[in-house]
Amino acid sequence: MNDQEVRRGAGIYSKPVLGFYDLLVVKFSNSLAWRCPSQLMLDQYNRCIGTRHLDVGPGTGWYLANADLPESAEITLMDLNENSVEHAASRLAHTHHVSTRGVTANVLEPIPEALGQFDSIAANYVFHCVPGSWADKGVAFKHLGERLAADGVLFGGTILGSGVSHNLIGRGFMALYNRLGIFHNREDDAAGLEAALRRSFDQVKVDVIGTVAVFSARNPLRNGGAGGLD
């Protein structure tokens, strides 16, 4: 995996870009370009989020800020770009009285054991930013599975480039973002995502809404064998 390309997928999230991200992506693009309303992904947060929660690629933290978090929630924000960690942490401090910590790390690399185990892990709109095929991106599912409690859940959404029909706005954004290296998802299809998740989890669900694969995975497989050993 080309490290420079991986960093380019996260590098765009400067402070000014995070300043207009919610308007462009959460309010406009999700409904009009990708045809998967933000509320639907927020509903998934509300269904899945547990007390010890790891949020990978939080961006502006819009979902966490608008989610119903458990009262005693302990939120870990992990992102390759420290701007996203800082932005999401400061936003969360205004919306919820929960314990928050931040980590700057790459989801394609093993996640430090010292962070502990999580009841839920979200990776929303992260994988279309990550370069490579599903076999390459799927390495992340192994790392995330290792940090998930036996009864925990991994969930998120990712914009697909293959096997879905993009409208005119979507086609424009896809061409631009892939050319700039912000997206790497031309070959991403739902079947490939499901197969990659199944290599690390026993129970997998992938629904395609508009051009977005909304996924959840449970029962992490330990040592390539049976799940639920912790």
Ligand X SMILES: C[S@@+](CC[C@H](N)C(=O)[O-])C[C@H]1O[C@@H](n2cnc3c(N)ncnc32)[C@H](O)[C@@H]1O
Q: Which residues bind ligand X (CB under 6 A)?
A: 6, 9-10, 13, 25, 56-59, 63, 79-81, 84, 106-108, 124-126, 129-130
Closer to ligand X at the Cβ: 164 or 219?
164
Pull the structure tokens for residue 27.
């309010």
Specify the amino acid at residue 98: V
State the Cα torsion 22-184-136-141 to the nearest 10°: 20
Q: 43 with 49: CB under 8 angstroms?
A: no
Give the whole-angstrom CA distance, residue 87 versus residue 91.
6
Q: Which CB sits closer to ligand X, 10 or 204?
A: 10
Identity of the residue, 101 or 150, whose beta carbon is nearer to ligand X in the bound complex: 101
Query: Cα dihedral angle (149, 227, 144, 118), rounded to 10 degrees?
Result: 0
Q: Which alpha helices (DSSP H) does 38-81 contain, by range? A: 38-48, 62-66
Query: Least separation, in Å, of the C-beta of 229 and ligand X?
Result: 26
Q: How far is the CB of 37 from ligand X (least distance, A)?
A: 13
Under a CB-based contact definition with an 8 Å cutoff, are residues 174 and 166 in contact? yes
Task: Please state the closest distance from residue 114 (CB atom) to ligand X, in A.
Answer: 18
Please report how close the Cβ of residue 214 comes to ligand X at its closest, in angstroms.
Answer: 11
Q: Of 25 and 219, which has the nearer Cβ to ligand X?
A: 25
